[in-house]
Amino acid sequence: MSTQTFFLTAGSTSKTIDISIVQKASATSPGDPLTALAFNSGSLTCYHRTGATSTATAITLATQTVGGAYSSGGFVEISAANMPGLYRFDIPNAQIATKGETTIVFNGAASMATHTVKLIVTEVDLYSIAAMFTTQMAESTITFNTVPTPAAALQAILQNLTTFSYSGTTKTVKQKDNSTTNMVCTLDSATTPTSSNRTS
Question: Structural domain tally of the chain?
Answer: 2
| CATH number of the CATH domain containing 22 | 2.60.40
| Claim to verify: residue 67 and residue 22 sit in the same structural domain | yes
d(CA 131, CA 125): 10
Nearest to 86 by CA among 2, 20, 1: 20
8 part of a folded domain:
yes
Percentage of the chain with pLDDT > 90?
Answer: 68
Is residue 79 predicted with pLDDT exceeding 90? yes
128 part of a folded domain:
no
Residue 195 burial class via C-beta count within 10 angstroms: exposed 0-12, middle 13-18, buried 19 and up? exposed
157 part of a folded domain:
yes
Q: What is the pLDDT of residues 134-193, one digit of tens each?
A: 777 777 777 888 888 888 888 888 888 888 999 999 999 998 888 888 899 999 998 999
Q: Please identify, among 92, 122, 152, the residue that sits at the C-terminal boundary of a domain.
A: 122
| Claim to verify: residue 92 and residue 16 sit in the same structural domain | yes
Domain hosting residue 16, numbered range: 2-122
Residues paired with 62 in a beta bridge: 74
| Claim to verify: residue 15 and residue 70 sit in the same structural domain | yes
Q: What is the pLDDT of residues 27-56, one digit of tens each?
A: 999 999 999 999 999 999 999 999 888 999
131 part of a folded domain:
no
| Claim to verify: residue 142 and residue 118 sit in the same structural domain | no
| Claim to verify: residue 47 and residue 116 sit in the same structural domain | yes
